[in-house]
Amino acid sequence: MTTTATATQRLPSIDIARFFAIVLVFYGHLVEQFMESVWGRGIEHLAMAGEVHYKWVYSFHMPAFFLLAGMVFNGRHLSEGVAAHMRRRWSGRVQPYLVFSAVAALMSLVVAGWFPTMGAPTAVAPLAGESYFWGVVDTLRGLPAFSIPLWFLAALVSVELFHYLVGRWLTTTPRRLIAIVIAYIAGVYLNRWISFFPTWTFWLLNLVPLGYAFYLTGIVVRGSGVLERTYPRWQLALAALVLLAGVTLTYDLNQGPFTMGFDAVIVVAGAVGHIGWFPITALMGTALVLVVARLVPQWRWFQYLGEITITIYGLHGLFYHFVNPRIVAPLDGSVGQWLTQGVGLGPVWALLAVASVVTAASVAATTPVAWAIHRYVPQLIGRG
């Protein structure tokens, strides 16, 4: 029952799946702005549509990131020395975290943005004074106040260090499966009993059990060889439809208990809701992303976008804090009514159409910048 700890060869479909996952992050944060910003403006039906999209995407997109990270883990890193391993974590995780946080922090001094963890929920003025100081403090303790999406990198640092400590004993599939169950249950109840977010977080250590359960699941799936097999396209298409239906039919069955006062999965806060429904939907959603990644053409440039996902992820923080609020701001009552009723689609479908177009444009604007960073200044993100 001993299995390989990692994959030593990159699979195009995994990289493509990582790119699709970051597209879902763009989309989820955009509809979050629709949800948060239009209440009280006579278009509450648009905010309610945003809630539907938000809860659907958030039910699986961050667990998918942890699971995909596990799939690309190289087991040889478990045998390297502590100093070498820490250098790897620094260059591949901490350095991009600090660089993209610094970019957003500098922008916040001159450009108004949306910084909900610093008491600046609307883009009315650049940050200054006490808010800026505490934003720096929070960022250094692993809660990236100037670029909230980067929380995943902080959590991944902690999860990967934990795996470095315990992974060498998890050498067989049974051991890993037992560890997955223990870590998951511990993670759910730890965050349910204690409210860590945002006051008591330090490099999101409270998310290590939850994140590790999905990370280790990724290692198990990759070690099984199921991703290396060839499948007829009709089987992949059928699986995608079944998984899409599965996510859609189960995401709203997760009714909590939630700890953030909002009935949706918010992994950064450890709020995952029902101990049973959450992993069911999360795993189906992750499988959906992987299956779709196998269905699309395996173009090299598509795979490359997955390889530079962390850079795209870091740049996305600028959209989250500075661009998305300005996209949603013009939706006054008349525009919002036209959007959701005048186009004849209804709020949910109209928002799907508009948010999809805006997401595609945002990703298209970001990827050339990410490419340029990797091409000309890779040292910024620890790739030089």
Q: 266 near 41, Cβ under 8 Å?
A: no
Q: Give me the domain span that covers residue 74.
A: 12-381
Query: Does residue 1 lie within any of the structural domains?
Result: no
Q: Tell me phi and psi for residue 372, to 5 degrees.
A: -65, -40
pLDDT confidence of residue 336: 67
Question: What pLDDT score does 124 carry?
Answer: 54
Domain membership flag for residue 7: no
Q: Is residue 148 part of a domain?
A: yes
Asked if residue 2 is part of any domain, the answer here is no
Residue pair 107/324 in contact (Cβ under 8 Å)? The answer is no
Residue type, position 183, single letter: A
Say what the pLDDT of residue 6 is: 47
Residue 210, burial from CB neighbour count under 10 angstroms (0-12, 13-18, 19+): buried
Per-residue model confidence (pLDDT) at position 158: 97
Q: Is the peptide bond before 330 cis (omega within 30 degrees of 0)?
A: no
Q: Angle, nearest 10°, between helix axes 309-318 and 300-307?
A: 60
CB atoms within 10 A of CB 69: 20
The pLDDT of residue 327: 86
What's the domain count of the chain? 1
User: What pLDDT does 368 receive?
Assistant: 96
pLDDT for 114 equals 86
Residue 20 lies in a domain: yes
pLDDT at 125: 62
d(CA 302, CA 20): 10
Single pTM value for the model: 0.93
What radius of gyration, in Å, describes the C-alpha atoms of the chain?
20
Longest dimension (CA), the chain: 63
Between CA 284 and CA 105 the distance in angstroms is: 36
pLDDT tens digits for the chain (384 residues)? 344 444 557 899 999 999 999 999 999 999 988 887 766 666 777 778 889 999 999 999 999 999 999 999 988 889 899 999 999 999 999 999 999 999 999 998 888 888 888 765 555 567 767 778 888 999 999 999 999 999 999 999 999 999 999 999 999 999 999 999 999 999 999 999 988 888 888 999 999 999 999 999 999 999 999 999 999 999 999 999 999 999 999 999 999 888 877 889 999 999 999 999 999 999 999 999 999 999 999 889 989 999 999 999 999 999 999 999 888 877 766 666 666 666 667 788 888 988 999 999 999 999 999 999 999 999 888 876
